Every structure is written in C-alpha cells, then in structure tokens.
Amino acid sequence: MDNFPLPARRLVTEMTEAAIADPARGLAFQGAPGANSHLAAVRYDPQSLPLPCFSFEDAIDAVRDGTVARAIIPIENSLHGRVADMHFLLPESGLWIVDEYFQFIHHCLMTVDADTPITSAASHPQALGQCRHYLRQHGITPVNYADTAGAAALVAETGEPGAAAIAPALAAELYGLVLRQENIEDSHDNMTRFVVLSREPVTPPLSGDRSGPTMTSFLFEVKNVPAALYKALGGFATNGINMTKLESYQRGGSFSATEFYMDIEGMPGDPAVDRALSELIFHTKWVRKLGSYRQARARTGEE
C-alpha cells in the first residue's frame, strides 16, 4: 500500500479491511481507488468488495493466497491491444479464468485547478495510448504511471502546476481534482475486456436452461517444424470452431519456438471442440487450458 500516493492510502486501507473481512465477496483489481478496474469490479458484481492492488501480480497473489476469492484483470483493449500479459501471469499462478466482462472506457483530463495551462499528463500506458491523438494535438507530454487513478492521486498529492492526470471521472471526485476535459479517448467505442480469475475452475452447462455461448482459453507451444501452426490449428477449421483470438509470444531469449494464447467459442465436452483439441494436442509440445466460461459478448453475427 505504501506504493500508492498518499491521497489514495486512506481509501485503500478502508477497502482492504472490508475485503479481507469477507473474502468470499472480495474482488481484487489492479490500481488505486477510482481506476477503470475499480469501476469494472463494482459494475461486474455490485455486491463485491473491491480490493485495490498496486500491480497485476499483487491482485493475482491476493486470490492465490486466499485473501479474496476472485480478481478482475483487463487483458485487451479495442484501441490499444494487450493490457495484462496473461500468458505470463496465469501459468505459474494456478488460477483459472471463470468469467469475462466488457466495459466501455472513457478518459478524463484532470488537474488541481481550473486555469493553469496543462503541460504533462500522467496515466497508465494503456490510457495514454488510447488518448495519444488528443495529447499530441494539445501539446501535452505523456508520462507513464502504474495506473490511471494512482496518477490522479499523485497529481492531488504533489499539486504541481501544469501537471494533469488521465483517469475516470470518479478519480477526480475521490481526490478533489478539477475535470478539465471529459471523453478525450481517440475513439468513443473504446472498450476493454476483463477476465475474472478464481482458484477453482467453473464448468458452464452445455445444455439446459442455464446454458449459453461459452468461451475457452488456452496456451500452447508449437513444435519447431515447418507448418507447425497450420497443422495445429487445422482441426478448428475442419470442425467449425470459431477462434476469436490468437496471439503469439516468446518466453525466454532462445526464439527457438513460439507459444500462443488462444480463445475459442465452445468448451471441452462438445464433440467438435474435443476433436479440434485432439489435433491441437497432437501437433504441439503442450497445451494448457486456462478456463471455460460463459460468453459475455457475442463474437459472431450481428450485435
């Protein structure tokens, strides 16, 4: 908690005590009170007790060690791509993806007063990237910070003239800042996808009244042979399985083989998914399931 700016610490203390006292309702998020992840936590589950954590690793550890039951983590944004590196964070954590949540993101520019010309704006790198056109047009220098609301608390703490923060409007309210401009994101359909993590996996029903479209997330590593990825993924095409996300990454410095994060529609237990996974397993070194969960937003067809 000492890593948070002073204006945020009182709120962090209060929220932490409440979440620890009722772990089943506790929902860890990365950032100071007032961050977009804080908003996602209360909108995803209004009955939850959000737990502020300084880093993604801290939020994951809070679930892993039983401090709280769940964490909500942003993993991708419609404007700026990847947020949290889930393929690095999850495998060693032992946690599972049990749900997903989508939230429209609106950024506001805030300062300690209403009149001083703004020369710099601090925020999370994702938020800065989502507002890069606005910042460039207004000659404002972006400054990286650990999270959006933390940047707002820092501006409130330092009171530096010309220094602004980019954060949700809630942060200005919490830290006594002046909203200088609202909705400065480069696109107003700016949306972030969050995943909810838990120590235990869930198994959504395949049929019945509570059934619905499902998602499954995996990690896998291809063999270092020609056409390895083509062969590994062929079963999804032949079995009619929609792959909604495929992202490559390198672990370590050898560059000898590529690992992938993948989202598909459906889940094991569906014969078509099982056939596709059998082919994937045959043509890869290893496959690690991260979780199956209900689909929160349609991936195909008209929305």
Task: List Cβ neighbours of 151 (8 Å cut-off, separation of 6 or more).
Answer: 122, 123, 124, 143, 145, 165, 166, 167
pLDDT in tens, 190-226: 899 999 999 999 988 765 444 579 999 999 999 888 8
pTM for the full predicted model: 0.89
- From-to residues of CATH 3.30.70.260 in the chain: 214-294
d(CA 11, CA 106): 22
pLDDT digits (tens, 9 = 90+) for 144-170: 998 899 999 999 999 999 999 999 999
Contact 69, 112 (CB under 8 A): no
Whether the Cβ atoms of residue 214 and residue 267 lie closer than 8 Å to each other? yes
Residue 92 confidence (pLDDT): 81
Q: What is the mean pLDDT of the chain?
A: 91
Please name the residues in contact with 162: beta carbons below 8 A apart, sequence gap of 6 or more: 116, 117, 118, 119, 120
Task: Count CB atoms within 10 A of the CB of residue 121.
Answer: 30
Q: Which of 269, 205, 263, 211 is nearest to 236 (CA)?
A: 263
Structure tokens at 253: 């410095």
β-strand partners of 81: 77
Residue range(s) occupied by CATH 3.40.190.10 in the chain: 6-105+191-198, 108-181
Q: Which of 29, 110, 80 is nearest to 191 (CA)?
A: 80
CATH homologous superfamily for 214-294? ACT domain (3.30.70.260)
Question: What is the per-residue pLDDT for 206?
Answer: 63
Q: What's the order of all strands across the beta sheet hosting 178-181?
A: 141-144, 120-123, 163-167, 108-111, 178-181
What CATH superfamily classification does 6-105+191-198 receive?
Periplasmic binding protein-like II (3.40.190.10)
Question: Which positions are catalytic?
Answer: 192, 194
Which of 158, 195, 196, 172 lies closest to 69 in space, CA to CA?
196
pLDDT in tens, 94-153: 899 999 999 999 999 999 999 999 999 999 898 999 899 999 999 999 999 988 999 999
CB 291 within 8 A of CB 214: no
Please give the CATH topology (third level) of the domain spanning 108-181: D-Maltodextrin-Binding Protein; domain 2 (3.40.190)
